[in-house]
Amino acid sequence: MRVIAIDGPAGAGKSTVAAALARRLGVARLDTGAMYRAVAFAALREGIDPGDGVRLGALARALDLEVGERVTVDGVDATAAIRGPEVTAVVSAVSVHPEVRAELVRRQRVWAEAHDGGVVEGRDIGSVVFPNAEVKVFLTAAEAERARRRVVQDDLDGDHAAVASDLARRDRIDSTRPASPLAVAQGALVMDTTGRSVDDVVEEVMEVLARL
Ligand code: DC
């Protein structure tokens, strides 16, 4: 099983790079952030407190979740809603709970077995979920550039300062939580994507793969 792990903070270019890389390699791709967002979406729907790890863990275990081109949660298409401001506001708080993480990590490993590996993006993929991944990439980018990309990607109104402060808030929670915080995995290739094109970044990863 061949897993390529792509980790990094919000807006570093993970989704775009992961999708392009999966296409080039002809393998599947999993956006694990979409899974945490789906749990946050369901928690809002059920009125569960983002601080209640026990209930959120039970919710994560019970969810009928499909994460692919579209994201469905208990049969409801949540593709657009999981990118909306309500979910974005609570997703980091939902993601701190070990009960939630244990279930989503289990599902991520099942997914990889079923697809015989693939490109998997998130925050803890190279460090925790697939520590034996064939290649680990940690993408970063300057904060202003990350905010600009989020505005474009999520079609937000153009308030870059507000988006930047929200990214910084999420990064702080994601990096300082005790359970699998965002961190550079051992052996990861750290790439700053500021000012670089997607093709350029993908090419560098392809070169690393070719040398294996
Ligand atoms: O990649 P994203 O911005 O869609 O991720 C949303 C949130 O999900 C992120 O702020 C933290 C959480 N997350 C996580 O804790 N672990 C992962 N492997 C992926 C995402």
Torsion of CA 21, 138, 3, 210, to 10 degrees: 60
Position 186 scores a pLDDT of: 94
User: Of the residues 32, 71, 156, 175, which should be mutated to test ligand 1's pocket, given the most ligand atoms within 8 Å of the CB?
Assistant: 32
Position 196 scores a pLDDT of: 94
CB 94 within 8 A of CB 147: no
Shortest-distance Cα residue to atom 4 of ligand 1: 33
CB 118 within 8 A of CB 32: no
pLDDT digit string (tens) for the chain, length 212 residues = 899 999 999 989 999 999 999 999 999 999 999 999 999 999 999 999 999 999 999 999 999 999 999 999 999 999 999 999 999 999 999 999 999 999 999 999 999 999 999 999 999 999 999 999 999 999 999 998 999 888 887 777 767 888 888 899 999 999 999 999 999 999 999 999 999 999 999 999 999 999 98
Q: What pTM does this model have? A: 0.96
**Would you kindly state where each structural domain of the chain is located, as residue ranges?**
2-198
SS3 state of residue 154: coil
CA distance 158 to 150: 10
Q: What is the pLDDT of residues 8-26, one digit of tens each?
A: 999 899 999 999 999 999 9
Shortest-distance Cα residue to atom 5 of ligand 1: 33
Find all residues with CB under 8 Å of 164, minimum gap 6, and list them.
143, 144, 146, 147
State how far Cα 114 lies from the chain centre: 19
Nearest ligand 1 atom, CA 96: 15
Exposure string of 23-54, with b = 16+ CB inside 10 Å and e = fewer, is eebebbbbbbbbbbbbbbbbbbeeebebeebe
Shortest-distance Cα residue to atom 2 of ligand 1: 33
Q: Which fold has domain 2-198?
A: Rossmann fold (3.40.50)
Position 185 scores a pLDDT of: 96
Residue 137 tokens read as 């990439």
How close is the Cα of 199 to the center of ligand 1, in Å?
Answer: 24
Apex 30 CA angle, 49 and 161, nearest 5? 60
Nearest ligand 1 atom, CA 14: 1
Position 158 scores a pLDDT of: 67
Residues having CB within 6 Å of any atom of ligand 1: 10, 32-33, 36-37, 91-92, 95, 122-125, 170, 174
User: Of the residues 35, 67, 95, which should be mutated to test ligand 1's pocket, given the most ligand atoms within 8 Å of the CB?
Assistant: 95
Strands (E) located in 58-188 = 65-67, 71-73, 76-77, 117-122, 135-140
